[in-house]
Copies of this chain bind each other. A is one copy, B any other.
Amino acid sequence: MDYKAATREMKADSYKMASLPAEVRDGALRAIAAALEKNKAEIFTANEADRAAGSALPAPILARLKFDEHKLADCIKGINDLIAMPDPLFQKQLIRELDDGLTLVRSSCPIGVIGVIFESRPDALVQISALCIKSGNSVILKGGSEAAKSNRTLFDVIYKAGIEAGLPEGFAMLVEDRAGVAELLSCHDSVDLIIPRGSNEFVQHIMSNTKIPVMGHADGICTIYVDKEAAVDKAARIIADAKEQYVSACNATEMLLVHKDIDKDALIEKVKANAEHDIKVNIDGEYKEYLDYEMSVREVSDVDEAIALINRNGSHHTDAIITENKKTAEHFMDMVDSAGVYHNCSTRFADGYRYGFGAEVGISTGKIHARGPVGLEGLVTYKYKLYGSDHIVGDYASGARSFNFKDL
């Protein structure tokens, strides 16, 4: 496959996609939800074949691979939630009269062509496609090879329904070969953004091998700091949840910092008592992403030492403080340089659904463009439209005219 040519064609179609009114994009989403329901037998069969072929895979991966009635219902609910959301496009973010008859309008528009490389969950394909359609972006999808049949079947159903509902041919493309990823990374003339979801090494590899902007996160090393004014029982319950509620998530806590005035051993015992699983604790352990029932614990002398450790060694994802002192909490939240800074709650809340975004295309630890869970808003940009009446700059340079800014 010639990806340079294919993405160039997508790029041309992405402008048609960008100019479609909300009714067409929402209509396509409705058609896709109906088509998924109608073709579910075929989808489930493909998914069963993937799971049979991957029966030797670890249990957590097999669980993520599963696409059944329950997952389908979630997907369809997600699509319906998106349909109900206001159109993110054509929003006038600024209307400013620069001078008589010269009006500047900042209008939201799609980013263009977005490449998303995602892991083994086939439902991610549905969610990402739906977010891109709602936001008027064309999407290039590359899923995990263990979900190849599920992804192909889901893509075909979505693509056919989308085209019939009036989306341009280049609204979506499925990449099925690993070599395609490397080729995509060189298509910086046609692809506007890459969103990689996967291992640290994989995301670092992507970032080092493309001129295309990359949005996402490499690590998820979240920390909870237990302040000297923490209520220890509450802290233990929050830590147990943040560690074990879903250990393979990027927002699971990997490091516990404990103020020296808190009895660390007693706290750890309480965390274990609150946990359903056996949590392995590494005293003075390093900052690392365990993705397991295991965590590091360190003592710190005050909140500022905790802040410095988190900023230096964390992954700028989500970090929490447990304290009854609101001033200390606010200081921590201002100084910690992470996408999410939490007070008295679990780091596991860092998620587009839990933030009320409807869905997310990923979580960004970068500070440019979207940060944290990336929903519809992170998939749009804007352009400046300037409406003149034959205005020239020479008149302003000579002093014949002058600007008279007025926000409308």
A→B interface (CB under 8 Å): 11-12, 15, 18-19, 96, 98, 102, 104, 111-112, 192-193, 207-208, 211, 213, 215, 231, 234, 237-238, 240-242, 245-246, 307-308, 311, 329, 333-335, 337-346, 348-350, 354-356, 366-369, 371-372, 381-394, 396-397, 403, 405
Contact = CB atoms under 8 A, between A and B. Distances in A.
Given A367-B111, A396-B354, A386 B343 contact: yes
A387 to B, nearest CB: 5
A8 to B, nearest CB: 9
Best-surrounded residue of A111, A338, A368 (most CB of chain B within 10 A): A368
Nearest to A89: B334
A381 B354 contact: no
B356 A390 contact: no
Nearest to A373: B384
> In terms of DSSP, what is the predominant structure of the interface of chain A?
mixed
Contacts of A356: 96, 98, 104, 403, 405
Given A15-B337, A112-B337, A311-B15, A392 B96 contact: no
A381 B368 contact: yes
11 contacts: A15-B311, A15-B335, A18-B337, A207-B211, A208-B211, A213-B213, A241-B392, A245-B397, A349-B393, A354-B396, A368-B381
Given A367-B192, A383-B339, A355 B390 contact: no
B388 A345 contact: yes
A333 B238 CA distance: 51
A279 to B, nearest CB: 14
Nearest to A395: B241
A365 to B, nearest CB: 11
Given A111-B368, A356-B403, A19 B335 contact: yes
